[in-house]
Amino acid sequence: MKKAIYAGTFDPITHGHIDVVSRATKLFDKIIIGVSSRPKSTLFTQRERMELVKTVFRNEKKIKVMGFSSLLVDFARKLGAATIIRGMRAVSDFDYELQLTLMNRKLAPKIETIFLMPSEKYIFISSSLAKEIASLNGDISHLVPLVVAKALRKKLKKK
């Protein structure tokens, strides 16, 4: 079974993330979406982010959502995943992704990283932009699924 991990903070999950996962399901038998507990700073808790991701992918049999708090390569080893999937939107992502990939390769030489680009219609989307636009009462329906938009608006009202 070809198993891969797609990890991130997913704060919140966007149509771009979903598109990358959709592409990955064509290449792998099982995709584990790893929701990191060690994010920079997040609006949603790890549990809330995991629930949103699970809701979005509730009908996808190839996808499993799990939280993790270790090094990504240790998480991959523990689950027997030989591949890490990374989404790349633009050249501006490249420097960070290259550094991360080379460090992961140093830590776990047997685990490969592949980069998948979302569709052109999602290439500009980021979780940060979705949160910023939502915080200013802008329309985010084209950025995130409806369930995520509702959760985001609710969370921002409490803040």
Average pLDDT, the chain: 94
Write the pLDDT tens digit of every residue in 47-101.
Answer: 999 999 999 999 999 999 999 999 999 999 999 999 999 999 887 788 889 999 9
The β-bridge partners of 35 are 8, 67
Alpha-carbon distance of 143 to 27, in angstroms, equals 25
Percentage of the chain beyond pLDDT 70 is: 98
**Reduced to 3 states, what is the DSSP secondary structure of residue 149?**
helix
pLDDT for residue 91: 79
Active site residues per annotation: 17, 40, 89, 127
pLDDT greater than 90 at residue 144: yes
Which of these, 159, 7, 158, 151, lies nearest to 79 by C-alpha position? 7
Which of these, 29, 37, 68, 45, lies nearest to 158 by C-alpha position? 45
| Structural domains of the chain in order of their starting residue, each with its CATH number | 3-124 (3.40.50.620)
Mean pLDDT of 153-157: 92
